[in-house]
Amino acid sequence: MGTKEDILLLLEKNRGQSISGQLMAENLNISRAAVWKNIKLLEQEGHLIEASTKVGYKLVDNSDILSASGINAILEKEGVYNQKIIYYRSIDSTNKEAKRLILDNLEHTAVVVSDHQTAGLGRNGKSFFSPSGSGLYLSMVLKPKIEPTVALRVTSAAAVATCRAIEEATSIKAKIKWVNDIYIDKLKVAGILTEGISGFESRRIESIVVGIGLNFREPDEGFPTELKNVATSLFPKGQAVTTSRNEIAAKLIIHLLSLTNNLDDNSYIEEYRNRSMVLHKDLFVITPNSRYQAFVKHIDDNGALVVVLEDGTKQLLQSGEISLRFD
């Protein structure tokens, strides 16, 4: 990290408390003038910092600027160290950047996070609405080296991880619409895009990118017309914001690591079932050439849907599009 990021990390670790410029200078082996200069740069980026000649500098509690330092400060408080987090103010797509890291021979887990995406990705080539300042766009590179059949569990694990992160940070109850959407009160608040990269010789999944796009607060201009009746945010207009995007990101990382580090243990699948919006419901299965009704009888241990068609036959859905009656 550079000097500015080092100072921000100190401020984040002591959020709400003042740190003297002298102490910062001594900890980072820089001059007090350098501390002041970088504090000003952080303020220009939007960080809310109070300065006092007697007590020093303080990052105020309601400062919500997404940053690698802010995420790492929370991770370290939770005992998670040495996470490679790469922050962009704006990027085409965090998933695309994660895949570029893999092509550059990334050897370890890494997280790409951004305040804004110019070409956010959804499933099946769809775009993902990614305005600046109101969302959290995060992609984690995993290096599991697992069989393709086990890789199917990653999206289910990521959905559970997202729900846990939301609830821990906000106490808001989140539900899962198979296979990759997170809902609050019948409106979509987050989407997950999982992409696997296989080794040519090993024929095993060597890298997985888990992308999560979360509507944190409602944009100032509101949602686009096509999303107004289908999307929501954790904090709609007029509602007090009670957490930060850094906290949500840190909790996402913690739960993603916990659940994906041992995919052979799929005990989380019962939680997935309990959070499901589709289990024991009628829905429509949508294919490129048809749309047919089915009843969801079960969700198997890999996260696939066991559905019963109108003629009584059973079918296993491992991927695809579905629509509930309220969609």
Q: Is the pLDDT of residue 289 over 90?
A: no
> Where are the CATH 2.30.30.100 domain residues in the chain?
282-323
> Where are the CATH 1.10.10.10 domain residues in the chain?
3-59
Predicted local distance difference test score (pLDDT) of residue 62:
87
Over residues 215-246, the pLDDT tens digits come to 999 887 778 878 888 899 999 988 889 999 99
Looking at 143-157, 158-172, 195-209, which range is the least confident one?
195-209
| 222 neighbors 216 (Cβ within 8 angstroms) | no
Looking at 62-71, 117-126, 278-287, which range is the least confident one?
117-126
Whole-number CA gyration radius for the chain: 21
CATH fold of the domain at 3-59: Arc Repressor Mutant, subunit A (1.10.10)
Does domain 68-275 fall under CATH 3.40.50.2300? My reply is no
Q: Euclidean distance between the first and final Cα of the chain, in Å?
A: 45
CATH class label, 282-323 = mainly beta
> Where are the CATH 3.30.930.10 domain residues in the chain?
68-275
| 13 neighbors 70 (Cβ within 8 angstroms) | no
Q: Kindly give, in sequence order, each residue whose CB lies less than 8 Å from that of residue 199, ignoring residues fewer than 6 positions away.
A: 206
Residue 124 — very low, low, confident or very high, per pLDDT cuts 50/70/90?
low
Write down the residue that tokens 């802010």 correspond to: 70
Predicted local distance difference test score (pLDDT) of residue 177:
95
| 125 neighbors 233 (Cβ within 8 angstroms) | no
- Report the share of the chain in percent with pLDDT over 70: 97
Q: Is the pLDDT of residue 172 over 80?
A: yes
- What stretches of 13-91 adopt beta strand conformation (E)? 49-52, 56-59, 84-88
What tokens does 266 get? 């799929």
Q: Is the pLDDT of residue 276 over 80?
A: yes
Whether this prediction's pTM lies above 0.75 is answered by yes
Residue 262 — very low, low, confident or very high, per pLDDT cuts 50/70/90?
confident
Specify the length of the chain in residues.
327
How confident is the prediction for the chain on average, in pLDDT?
91
Predicted local distance difference test score (pLDDT) of residue 123:
67
